[in-house]
Chain A
Amino acid sequence: MDAAHIRNFSIIAHIDHGKTTLSDRLLHRTGTVATRDMEEQLLDSMDLEQERGITIKAHPVTMLYQAKNGETYELNLIDTPGHVDFSYEVSRSLAACEGALLIIDAAQGVEAQTVANVHLATKQNLTIIPVINKIDLPHADVAATKAQMEDILAIPSENAILASAKEGIGIDDILEAIVARIPPPKATGAVSVQALGFDSYFDMYKGVVTHVRVFNGELHAGMQVQLLHSGKTVEIKEVGSFNPKPYVREKLETGETGYMTANIKSPKDVKMGDTITDARNPAPVLPGFKEIHPMVFSGLYPINTADYEHLKANLGKLQLNDSAFVYQAESSVALGFGFRCGFLGLLHLEIVQERLRREYDMDIIATYPSVVYRVVMTDGTVKEIDNPAFLPEPTYIERVEEPMVFAFVISPNEYIGDMMALLAEKRGEVDHTETLDPRRVMLTSTLPLSEILIDFHDRIKSITRGFGSMDYEHAGYLTSDMVKLDMLVNGESVDAFSCIVHRSKAEGRGRTLAAKLKEVIPRQQYQVSIQAAIGGKVVARETVSALRKDVTAKCYGGDISRKRKLLEKQKEGKKRMKSFGSVNIPQEAFIEVLKA
């Protein structure tokens, strides 16, 4: 199609504001999907996405729309992942578009993720079409939503379209606005084809299927193309688009969106945000490419050591569809052989764990997640440390820098005090407080990424009885007083329990961990001492007293069989424990402690 009749857009919204429902509506209204084929939430195809109602991968869908002016347009909708863990993916998806539909729930108003997503879209210079959704709800408050749009997002509210994705209200207005307001794609004028690869998935038969947006020239089967960042040259086997199922097209022209296959076996060969160009006559790279670096690391270990190979195979399979996920073999004294895994964020980590458990039926333990610290050594070199075990000795360390985030927290007025207290507890500085509307304020705060990893979001939800929201963006590194906390069991350090913590929190965390360990380590033949130590200095201790006896008082002929089975079971249980010197620690202890 000629570029003048193409529109590329994304939908951005806070969780549950109706992104997926609206996408489905658009597919339906444009006849892309017949009513009888409509499954609810069509675009969320992965099981987990359906269940959690979150979009993990960016799906492009091509729709043909006959506008009121009688002309037919090719509308390419790129559904982006909604979570900040995937903000680079979001930024790449947005880079494939000229515009974005910004959905705001009329009953909830602007939320934290709305703010963060608008920041991203503005950075990409996208035309934003504001849509106030769910106006059918009895407590929808359009006026207040408009006011927030102006005050917080600086978006003129008169352009907002009132809609109900659920009731089908405003859908035509939205489609017309897409045609009228979003600029058509313009060729870059480069010497040859330029296409952005913005996501990929793995297909059993076709290999890696790369999602592409053509910025200049065209892509077609048989072409030799080069992937500028990965350096690979490949021959295109097939190009096509999605409706939302893939269909083959003769070519993809300037402004169009779809996919290409090229017999690429490993997703690692296609970098997210890579530029695809003519191999013989390469054009310059498209702007905005970044190597993705995992932000959060955690060790994944099979509960049953015999499952190691199995876990390895499954991690490989997962990586096929998730190039942001990285892993590498490691071993732990406590947990045996496993993998150090890198994730974009905590949600990403949870998703991977859950998929391993559910789709691959694996029993795994995850060690306490760690962010990546930058350690500046006394000799001036810089080390990136994502595993407490590798933190150098303090004497060699000049300083440690930790990753920071810039967080938007939205809270009802009455919880503001508790929210400030929470931010202080998480070592956050409140940079800014802004009144959103008569009921709510928005706090912006700079705080360490490590502090928001575990329970920050849950705490906000519980403080605000579910009405608060939070989103963040990465904000570089800051020098911080970090120390390594070790847990010693009868004098031996148990590596799986070690963590890097801020000095001000080390003692408290040590005490919590020691108390938890005391709870979960069963009494044994000996007394077991548990200590938390920072660089050899013990900051907390607990003792599990020795068993004084282990004998059944009464045991005669009729009891032997039952008793034997009982003893066998207990013995079996002990086999699943890990031994530290003479101390047995059950598998569950590791899990419990990691949760503490």
Chain B
Amino acid sequence: MFEELAVEHLYVHVPFCAKKCAYCAFYSEAASGQLVNRYVEALVREMQWVASDLKPKTIFFGGGTPSLLNLGQWERVLQTIHRLGWHGAAEWTVECNPATVSLHKAKLLRDGGVNRVSMGAQSFDPALLDRLGRVHSREMIFKSFDILRAAGFDNLNVDLMFAIPGQTLASWRQTLAEAKALGSEHLSCYEVIYEEDTPLFEQLQTGAVQVDEDLACAMYDELLLAAADAGFQQYEVANFARHTASAAAEVPDRACRHNVNYWRGGSFHGLGPSAAGYVRGVRTRNWSNTTMYCEQLERGRRAIESTEELPPLARAGEIAAFGLRMTSGWPLEQFQRRTGFDLRQEWRPEIDRMMELGYGELNQQRFRLTSKGLRFADWAGAEFLRS
């Protein structure tokens, strides 16, 4: 059921941001030079810990704002990755914020083996960037994009948000048009999530902002049209990528393979404060406190706060549930290999129910949610969970 070989995916969390955005519930804090250095050293130690069980095909540096590390700090990280022999990863993504990429840094990353950058643009509307509390301007998005291209990146993602309080359908259309013009290989578009303990959530509670479900749905419809029109293929609820090979594929070839591994229930190591890992059925989470994280590693311990291991059927249910977020759904054979359960048998009533509602589609190869079903992916996913 589990990979016999070393784990093939690595996530690294960089817990620093210049300033907290209004909607963000990720663990990140303001970067003080001292703490960032200490973090880099702890991370190097943590990499050491997993070295024997990792041969990464994908690496993903997320955050926070990984691009906030300075040149020296990045050099130290890249060096370690080379020393451990991980630099040959087929897909190596670093998340960047538009205000934080210099040509120098971009080149350093590219030369070090990073081959994909995910840029948190969020919007092209200055008023909305302000509303979201983003530190960058609209112009910086274009500028950073050019820098990345100049540094040799040919696989770029742009993150956008919709249903932002104050955003109109016209403004969203405009943003989608500008994204198309940018010509990235990948597009991730999220409806705003009101996460607890964020300023945006507070505003929702006090009634300062309201959710307009109809408008959000209209924006999603608009997104599907615009993405198709720009030549993107949807492969997950919120993710779109170009497909360059001539033969059609269920998952486009510029899809983020690292993320696909999450939805397919594959193993990955997670390093850095608050990072989650999932290795052969065991989920772990690191301490969400940079100082504590560093202390643990400095004392020669791992920084794991909690672990969770589900019994086989519950684990299979979880894997089924989250895999349904992909437009290609679950290839039946792959599911059986991964979980040991037959999707069609164990979840027969659920599958039938989804099909009755027009939410699901079953054929010889796979079960998947229809485009209508994808809009109820949480409900569908919950139905597949087993306790």
Asked whether A567 lies within 8 Å of B375 as measured between CB atoms, the reply is no
Residues in B with CB closer than 8 Å to A552 are 193, 237, 377-378
Asked whether B193 lies within 8 Å of A557 as measured between CB atoms, the reply is no
Taken together as a complex, chains A and B put the C-alpha atoms of A376 and B217 apart, in Å, by 57
Interface string of A554-594 (1 = CB under 8 A from B): 11111011011001101100000000000000000000000
Asked whether A567 lies within 8 Å of B321 as measured between CB atoms, the reply is yes
Residues of chain B in range 244-282 having any CB-CB distance to chain A below 8 Å: 259, 261-262, 268, 270, 274-276, 278
Asked whether B276 lies within 8 Å of A561 as measured between CB atoms, the reply is yes
B91 in contact (CB, < 8 A): no
* Nearest-Cβ distance from residue A551 to partner chain B, whole angstroms: 4
* Smallest Cβ-Cβ distance to A572: which chain B residue: B387
B379 in contact (CB, < 8 A): yes
B105 in contact (CB, < 8 A): no
* Nearest-Cβ distance from residue A153 to partner chain B, whole angstroms: 57
Residues in B with CB closer than 8 Å to A556 are 259, 262
B382 in contact (CB, < 8 A): yes
Contact status of A525 and B237, CB under 8 A, knowing A553-B190, A560-B322, A564-B318: no
- Which bucket holds chain B's interface residue count? 35 or more
Asked whether B378 lies within 8 Å of A550 as measured between CB atoms, the reply is yes
* Nearest-Cβ distance from residue B28 to partner chain A, whole angstroms: 13
Asked whether B385 lies within 8 Å of A568 as measured between CB atoms, the reply is yes
Residues in A with CB closer than 8 Å to B11 are 557-558
Asked whether B387 lies within 8 Å of A568 as measured between CB atoms, the reply is yes
* Smallest Cβ-Cβ distance to A569: which chain B residue: B382
B15 in contact (CB, < 8 A): no
B4 in contact (CB, < 8 A): no
Contact status of A549 and B375, CB under 8 A, knowing A558-B275, A560-B262: yes
Residues in B with CB closer than 8 Å to A245 are none
* Nearest-Cβ distance from residue B348 to partner chain A, whole angstroms: 18
Asked whether A557 lies within 8 Å of B262 as measured between CB atoms, the reply is yes
Residue B376 contacts which of A551, A558, A567 (CB distance < 8 angstroms)?
A551
A548 in contact (CB, < 8 A): yes
Asked whether B375 lies within 8 Å of A548 as measured between CB atoms, the reply is yes
Residue A553 contacts which of B237, B262, B268, B383 (CB distance < 8 angstroms)?
B237
* Smallest Cβ-Cβ distance to A560: which chain B residue: B322
Residues of chain A in range 328-344 having any CB-CB distance to chain B below 8 Å: none
Residues in A with CB closer than 8 Å to B190 are 553-554
* Nearest-Cβ distance from residue B285 to partner chain A, whole angstroms: 7
* Smallest Cβ-Cβ distance to A552: which chain B residue: B378
* Nearest-Cβ distance from residue B338 to partner chain A, whole angstroms: 14
Interface string of A529-559 (1 = CB under 8 A from B): 0000000000000000001111111111110
* Nearest-Cβ distance from residue A564 to partner chain B, whole angstroms: 5
B66 in contact (CB, < 8 A): no
For chain A, the count of residues having a C-beta within 8 Å of the partner chain is 21
Contact status of A551 and B375, CB under 8 A, knowing A557-B268, A561-B285: yes
Contact status of A551 and B285, CB under 8 A, knowing A556-B262, A557-B270, A560-B322: no
Contact status of A571 and B382, CB under 8 A, knowing A553-B190, A554-B190, A557-B11: yes
B147 in contact (CB, < 8 A): no
Residues in B with CB closer than 8 Å to A563 are 322
Taken together as a complex, chains A and B put the C-alpha atoms of A568 and B382 apart, in Å, by 6
Asked whether B308 lies within 8 Å of A567 as measured between CB atoms, the reply is no
* Smallest Cβ-Cβ distance to B11: which chain A residue: A557
Residues of chain B in range 347-387 having any CB-CB distance to chain A below 8 Å: 357, 374-379, 381-383, 385, 387
Most buried by B among A547, A556, A557: A557
* Smallest Cβ-Cβ distance to A582: which chain B residue: B357
* Nearest-Cβ distance from residue B220 to partner chain A, whole angstroms: 8
Contact status of A550 and B379, CB under 8 A, knowing A555-B322, A558-B275, A564-B318: yes
Asked whether A557 lies within 8 Å of B374 as measured between CB atoms, the reply is no
* Nearest-Cβ distance from residue A130 to partner chain B, whole angstroms: 60
Asked whether A570 lies within 8 Å of B382 as measured between CB atoms, the reply is yes
Residues in A with CB closer than 8 Å to B261 are 557
Taken together as a complex, chains A and B put the C-alpha atoms of A558 and B193 apart, in Å, by 16
Asked whether A548 lies within 8 Å of B214 as measured between CB atoms, the reply is yes
Interface string of B144-164 (1 = CB under 8 A from A): 000000000000000000000
Taken together as a complex, chains A and B put the C-alpha atoms of A549 and B13 apart, in Å, by 31
Contact status of A567 and B270, CB under 8 A, knowing A550-B376, A557-B262, A560-B322: no
Taken together as a complex, chains A and B put the C-alpha atoms of A568 and B386 apart, in Å, by 9
* Nearest-Cβ distance from residue A418 to partner chain B, whole angstroms: 34
Asked whether B381 lies within 8 Å of A554 as measured between CB atoms, the reply is no
* Nearest-Cβ distance from residue A552 to partner chain B, whole angstroms: 6
Residues of chain B in range 8-65 having any CB-CB distance to chain A below 8 Å: 11, 13
Asked whether B238 lies within 8 Å of A553 as measured between CB atoms, the reply is yes
Residues in B with CB closer than 8 Å to A554 are 190, 193, 238
Contact status of A557 and B278, CB under 8 A, knowing A548-B217, A564-B385: yes
B283 in contact (CB, < 8 A): yes
Residues in B with CB closer than 8 Å to A553 are 190-193, 237-238
* Nearest-Cβ distance from residue B247 to partner chain A, whole angstroms: 28
Taken together as a complex, chains A and B put the C-alpha atoms of A550 and B283 apart, in Å, by 26
Residues in B with CB closer than 8 Å to A571 are 382-383, 385
Taken together as a complex, chains A and B put the C-alpha atoms of A552 and B322 apart, in Å, by 11
Taken together as a complex, chains A and B put the C-alpha atoms of A554 and B377 apart, in Å, by 12
Taken together as a complex, chains A and B put the C-alpha atoms of A570 and B11 apart, in Å, by 29
Asked whether B268 lies within 8 Å of A548 as measured between CB atoms, the reply is no
Most buried by A among B13, B238, B285, B381: B381
Contact status of A549 and B382, CB under 8 A, knowing A554-B190, A555-B325, A564-B321: no
Would you give 10 A-B contacts (Cβ < 8 Å), ordered by A?
A547-B376, A550-B378, A551-B374, A551-B376, A555-B325, A558-B275, A560-B262, A564-B321, A567-B382, A571-B385
Supplied contacts A551-B237, A551-B375, A558-B274, 15 more A-B pairs, CB within 8 Å: A548-B213, A550-B379, A551-B378, A553-B193, A554-B190, A555-B322, A557-B268, A557-B276, A557-B278, A561-B283, A561-B285, A561-B308, A567-B321, A568-B387, A570-B382
A-B CB proximity, top 4 nearest: A553-B190, A567-B382, A557-B262, A558-B276
